[in-house]
Homo-oligomer: A and B are copies of this chain.
């Protein structure tokens, strides 16, 4: 394994001191130098195929030019686009990303955060935050640059980039109402995640606004955002509130699980029960019956969070808003129809 060229090698080859080489190679610091020596040094560097040792740079400057990206689970299809969005901003800025999967486990989250800090990351984008997670708060307070994405911490001064949860829920809620639904159940997400809680609260608020009695708008909370939980909770809804004509799910995977549950019960979506989702994850359009859902802008979310993190790392934290809410839009497909003309509503 041929040893890498170092500054010292170039210094020797071009007959100047290492510190001069260091300066000559950095456009910022080469200003005071003679054009002649700058050229000579750069020529030698190119000739010898010099690439700076970033580890040494990091030790000296205390900057690794690396960020940590915490996600719940990369196999969950909504996260890859977010990661690409982050990369699109960070890579040109010279940063690499270490991606870790927390599986939404508090223990793993804490341990992985520590690992990232041990590795000296310059900042963290956290898309897996639990609403109250002391370790991340402590890290932020001790000076680590952090922004949360998709989710927010409770009562926090850690900047966050989230989607318009309230607006999104209101969009599907109003759609269902316009179709004539009176008995809408909410298949809620875990309330220890801000997404779960915000959507749930938005649902309740929408009910209140439109004068729907909470008794006619049951809420069942999933413990995870996945198909199995969607199925389980949908069954619970069907059992406890058989007069339900629509299920407003807190995300697409829960909605997909709900549709499976309906099918298992011999019911059809949308004929018997309408279902809506949230996220508009990839390939959703290809899955029957075509879920009506809320589209979020995953790429944009990643880019925005990355830009904010860059600003914070450059000590321009004052320029980044505590709260950034990204617009969402309604995607109508085929999972919503008028309530069937039987049961209590007729």
A84-126 vs B: 1/0 string, CB under 8 Å? 1001000000001111110000000000001101111000000
Contacts of A142 in B (CB 8 A): 1-2
Contacts of A96 in B (CB 8 A): 98, 100, 115, 119
Contacts of A120 in B (CB 8 A): 53-55
Min distance, Cβ A53 to any Cβ of chain B, angstroms: 7
Q: How many copies does the complex hold?
A: 2
Residue among A52, A83, A286 with the highest chain B CB neighbour number at 10 A: A286
Contact of A74 among B83, B101, B144 (CB under 8 A): B83
- The answer, yes or no, to whether A338 is at the interface (CB within 8 Å) is no
- The answer, yes or no, to whether A215 is at the interface (CB within 8 Å) is no
Min distance, Cβ A313 to any Cβ of chain B, angstroms: 13
- The DSSP consensus for interface residues of chain A is mixed
- Cα–Cα, bound, A54→B59 (Å): 9
Determine whether the beta carbon of B84 is less than 8 Å from that of A80: no
Can you sample 21 A-B contacts with CB below 8 Å? A1-B142, A1-B143, A1-B144, A2-B142, A2-B143, A55-B64, A56-B59, A66-B98, A66-B119, A74-B80, A74-B84, A75-B81, A77-B283, A80-B80, A87-B101, A96-B98, A96-B100, A98-B98, A99-B99, A283-B287, A287-B287
Beyond A54-B120, A74-B74, A286-B287, list 12 extra A-B contacts (CB 8 Å): A1-B142, A52-B118, A54-B118, A55-B120, A74-B83, A75-B80, A77-B282, A77-B283, A96-B98, A96-B115, A96-B119, A97-B98
The 7 closest A-B pairs by CB, nearest first: A1-B143, A75-B80, A74-B80, A286-B287, A55-B58, A55-B59, A51-B118
Which A residues form the contact surface with B (CB < 8 A)? 1-2, 51-56, 58-59, 64, 66, 73-75, 77, 80-81, 83-84, 87, 96-101, 114-115, 117-120, 142-144, 256, 282-283, 286-288
